[in-house]
Amino acid sequence: MGCEVKGLEGVIAGDTAISTVGKKDMGLTYRGYSVEDLSEHASFEEVAYLLIHDKLPNHRELEEYRTALVNMRGVPDRLKVVLESLPPASHPMDVLRTGCSALGAIEPETAEREQDQYRVADRLLASFPYMLLYWYRFHQSGARISHESGQREMAGHILALLNGMPPEAIVRKAINASLVLYAEHEFNASTFSARVTASTLSDFHSAVTAAIGTLSGPLHGGANEQAMKMITPLRSPDEAEKEILRMLAAKKKVMGFGHRVYKKQPDPRSSIMKEWARRLSAEAGDMGLFLIFERIEEVMFREKKLFANVDFYGALTYHLCGIPTELFTPVFALARVSGWAAHIIEQRADNKLIRPSAEYIGPEARAYVPLDERP
């Protein structure tokens, strides 16, 4: 027998007022606003404010919020020591997970959680890019970069920390759109793990640390990195088609395709990322990789009726923006921390311990066999 619902598929595990995913007549919305509108018109900070502080900010609120975030971008020296001591070969997701946990030990959430949780949420959002890229640049070249990037917006800040120079406008806009699209997605695995941790009344940093670990897996956020690694060696659309057919015949999964919720309808984030990938390719005067990606999308739909998810063209967009492949999933995390934060706050506001039950499928009750009598 066993449990009939594997992986909690289709199970409604709680209430949320933060986002709708695949909902009839609404699609993907953050607090009622469509991601199509938000990714086209809003900066990531506006969206983070919307998710965490529950309303779209006006001009003054947005500027005050940006200033607050800019002032929270640095990390303590003790944390720099931790980051410098991590191996250069560490995966950057492990670095972010460790950095978040270390920050929680250095600057713990206070007992006044109702107020302090907003400070912690903003602090994590503001400091994550520097935490990640301090470690990255230090191990790349020995440079101890400053958190003062000269960029007020998150997308520009990330790119300036990575490259040591201000970004081109089109690249900044593409990254901003990706951050908006990656910010939130209801009860996905990493958000759910954050809520499970929060439901035990554990602290904010522990919930986000758990979420980072969960996001890193290739069935979730890690898919963008894996998709790029799989596609990089392919030289032409025909070669890509052959490789995908070979993978499908071998019953292998093609990363960047399929989704627990978007089975009969496409992931609305995918077409937006695809348009950014097309624009960036055209701007660079090289459609080569784009055509390879597009052929893979065609083959996956023809053979398996599977749609590309956000990570497929998200990977190509990041590649074209000059983000190193191993940083794809961490950049996703820099955005998703806003959604995790909103869910931790929501979980705490009406908390009940999340503790489901299991269908037992092990042996019948039996007598204990003393150690000396075992075969």
For binding to ligand ACO (CB under 6 A), which residues are involved?
Answer: 7, 188, 219-221, 223, 253-260, 304, 306, 309-311
Which CB sits closer to ligand ACO, 221 or 330?
Answer: 221
Which CB sits closer to ligand ACO, 259 or 274?
Answer: 259
Q: Pick the catalytic residue: 91, 94, 116, 220?
A: 220
Task: Check if 259 is active-site.
Answer: yes
Which CB sits closer to ligand ACO, 103 or 227?
Answer: 227
Q: CB of 243: closest distance to ligand ACO in angstroms?
A: 13
Apex 322 CA angle, 45 and 70, nearest 5:
30
Which CB sits closer to ligand ACO, 7 or 164?
Answer: 7
Strands of 19-23's sheet in order across = 19-23, 27-30, 33-34
Which CB sits closer to ligand ACO, 95 or 310?
Answer: 310
Q: CB of 170: closest distance to ligand ACO in angstroms?
A: 24
Task: Check if 54 is active-site.
Answer: no
Under 8 Å between Cβ of 45 and 52 = no
Please state, in angstroms and rounded to a whole number, the distance separating the CA atoms of residues 216 and 132. Answer: 14
Read out DSSP for 267-313? -HHHHHHHHHHHHHHHHHT--HHHHHHHHHHHHHHHHH-PPB-HHHH
Please state, in angstroms and rounded to a whole number, the distance separating the CA atoms of residues 294 and 283. Answer: 17
Q: Which among 52, 59, 201, 213 has a CA at the least distance from the CA of 122?
A: 52
Task: Check if 220 is active-site.
Answer: yes
Which CB sits closer to ligand ACO, 149 or 224?
Answer: 224
Q: CB of 35: closest distance to ligand ACO in angstroms?
A: 13
The H-assigned helical ranges of 153-236 are 154-163, 169-182, 189-199, 204-215, 223-231
Q: If DSSP codes are grouped into helix, strand and coil, which group holds residue 225?
A: helix
Phi, psi of 27, rounded to the nearest 5 degrees:
70, -140
Q: If DSSP codes are grouped into helix, strand and coil, which group holds residue 34?
A: strand
Q: Pick the catalytic residue: 157, 311, 319, 343?
A: 311
Q: Which among 193, 207, 175 has a CA at the least distance from the CA of 276?
A: 175
Which CB sits closer to ligand ACO, 267 or 346?
Answer: 267
Under 8 Å between Cβ of 154 and 179 = yes
Q: If DSSP codes are grouped into helix, strand and coil, which group holds residue 23?
A: strand
Cα 275 to the center of its chain, rounded Å: 20
Q: CB of 120: closest distance to ligand ACO in angstroms?
A: 24
Q: CB of 6: closest distance to ligand ACO in angstroms?
A: 8
Q: CB of 100: closest distance to ligand ACO in angstroms?
A: 19
Q: CB of 19: closest distance to ligand ACO in angstroms?
A: 13
Q: Pick the catalytic residue: 259, 267, 319, 343?
A: 259
> Closest CB to ligand ACO belongs to which residue?
258
Q: Which among 172, 177, 143, 173 has a CA at the least distance from the CA of 160?
A: 172
- Helix axis angle, 59-70 to 113-141, nearest 10°: 60
| Residues with a known catalytic role | 220, 259, 311
